[in-house]
Amino acid sequence: MDKLVIEGGVPLTGGIDISGSKNAALPILFASILLSEPARIANVPDLRDIHTTLKLLNVLGCACAYDDHEVRTQPGKLLPEAPYDLVRTMRASVLCLGPLLARIGQARVALPGGCAIGARPVDQHLKGLECMGASFQLEEGYILGRCRRLTGARITFDMPTVGGTENLLMAAVLAEGETLLENAAREPEVVDLANFLRACGANIEGHGTDVIRIQGVAALHGADYAVMPDRIEAGTFLVAAGITGGELLLRHCPFDALEAVIRKLCHMGMEITQTPQGVLARCAGPLHGTDVKTQPYPGFPTDMQAQIMALMCLADGASVVEESIFENRYMHVLELVRLGAQIKVSGHTAMVRGVQGLTGAPVMASDLRASASLVLAGLAARGRTEVRRIYHLDRGYEHIEHKLTAVGARIRREQE
């Protein structure tokens, strides 16, 4: 098992290329199950979850191969079972459910695993697919789904759900008739999936709003498509510039998709501007506390909560974080406290009082974004910080230590 060792206190300066979005690439890869022709998907990040997905697609009968951030898919004879050994490590694996039902009318998918950040039930996925004509049983940890042919339906989500919107969007493109998804998720990654499906011949309108209209088609052809840049990786490096008092140029940064994050960072005292070369982020003066409430897009993303909390630890005054998406997403708090932070949690709310400085210490990562917050805190802390259990980090950040080393960080990967 690996750990990251960080000697902090160095302002980061230089340029960083933002990788393709993991959260956009995963549903786009699962959408290849729907295609009757080969596809080429570019700008795919080199991450553990990506390679797990490719293994799963090959097991399902959709041949695919990864080479230098590009995936080529080849349709084949599809099989219905997504086995537990692959699904258990990755929440997004449930996204094969809708495409399999749309293509072959059956699916046997193990209940998914992933980060331990709270309950993320798939009931919204199943209820929507039942409205389209599927029936389900739960058997020995597997979801068993069957249908003759999915038919269009009017589906209203109880709450915006990214995975549920993506699963039903994929199912609906080959369903008979029209499907209306109401209270749909508006995240840029949902829009990217819809744009990929449209490039393959799907008839979709309204993506990016809370009402998506899909007219089913008989078949989807292949396409060449590039995945959008990763807004959460970009947001993490924006915080890295601020927490170290540095200046970073982020190339291929999705500025518009980060509006809520950039607005809060600028309120805290950072300067973030668009230039012809990329997005320039710097922190020339003292940071100030702010309040954040996580919300579905276009609100402040839950996937940036842990990172901005690390920045709040060094900001003047008090900051308040309210986590409204996941009920168990403060596991990084105790580890930040080990580095000298002053944070108190009450229910879904965390109160952060800024301190003059953080001090290095051994810390333990509990999930993907918690890992990022501990790396950020370690970059700012005096002395040596060891971030352990970074296999979480490798699920969502492509070679993060290499990118940080290139802009001046003293960080290295070691075996525990």
What spatial distance separates the first Cα and last Cα of the chain, rounded to whole Å?
Answer: 6
Determine the average pLDDT of the residues in 345-357. Answer: 96
The reported pLDDT for the residue numbered 122 is: 87
Quick: pLDDT tens for 14-68. 999 999 999 999 999 999 999 999 999 999 999 999 999 999 999 999 999 999 9
Are the C-beta atoms of residues 125 and 164 closer than 8 Å to each other?
A: yes
User: Cα separations (Å) of 335 from 3, 36, 324?
Assistant: 15, 48, 21
- 204 pLDDT more than 80: yes
Average pLDDT over residues 352-358: 98
Task: Read off the tokens for 187.
Answer: 């995240």
Q: Would you say 193 and 304 are in contact if contact means Cβ atoms under 8 Å apart?
A: no
Domain 2-16+230-415 has CATH 3.65.10.10: yes
Residue with tokens 């500025």: 255
Per the DSSP assignment, residues forming a β-bridge with 173 are none
- Residues paired with 70 in a beta bridge: 42, 67
3-class secondary structure, 56: helix
Higher per-residue pLDDT: 3 or 368: 3
- Name the nearest CA neighbour of 169 among 142, 110, 135, 209: 209
Is the omega angle on the peptide bond into residue 298 within 30 degrees of 0, that is, cis? yes
Given this model, what pLDDT does residue 86 score?
A: 86
pLDDT digits 0-9 by tens, 96-144: 999 999 999 999 998 865 444 344 578 899 999 999 999 999 888 899 9
Per-position b or e across 92-117, b if 16+ CB within 10 A of its CB: bbbbbbbbbbbbbbbbbbbbbebbeb
Binding residues for UDP-N-acetyl-alpha-D-glucosamine: 91, 120-124, 303, 325
The Cα-based distances of 76 to 66, 172, 220 in angstroms read: 17, 21, 14
pLDDT higher than 60, residue 71: yes
Strand order across the 211-215 sheet: 154-156, 178-182, 211-215, 203-205
How confident is the model at residue 110, as a pLDDT? 86
115 in active site: yes
- Average pLDDT of the residues of the chain: 95
According to the model, what pLDDT value does residue 318 have?
98
What's the pLDDT at 351? 98
pLDDT digits (tens, 9 = 90+) for 284-297: 789 999 999 999 99
pLDDT given at position 115: 44
Can you tell me whether residue 169 is helix, strand or coil? Answer: helix
pLDDT, residue 113, reads 56
Which is catalytic among the residues 115, 200, 253, 313?
115
Question: Can you tell me the mean pLDDT for 289-307?
Answer: 97
Domain ranges in the chain are 2-16+230-415, 24-224
Max CA distance (Å), the chain:
64
- What is the per-residue pLDDT for 137? 92
CATH number of 24-224: 3.65.10.10
170: three-class secondary structure by DSSP = helix
Q: What is the pLDDT of residue 117?
A: 34
Query: Residues annotated as binding site for phosphoenolpyruvate?
Result: 22-23
Distance CA 82, CA 88 (A): 10
Number of C-beta neighbours around residue 163 at 10 A: 22
Query: Does 1 score more than 90 pLDDT?
Result: no
Of the candidate ranges 42-51, 211-220, 319-328, 385-394, the one whose mean pLDDT is the lowest: 319-328
Whether the domain at 2-16+230-415 and the domain at 24-224 fall into the same CATH topology: yes
pLDDT for position 222: 97
The percent of residues in the chain predicted with pLDDT above 90, rounded, is 88
Judging by DSSP bridges, how do beta strands 13-17 and 247-251 pair with one another? parallel
Binding residues: 22-23, 91, 120-124, 303, 325
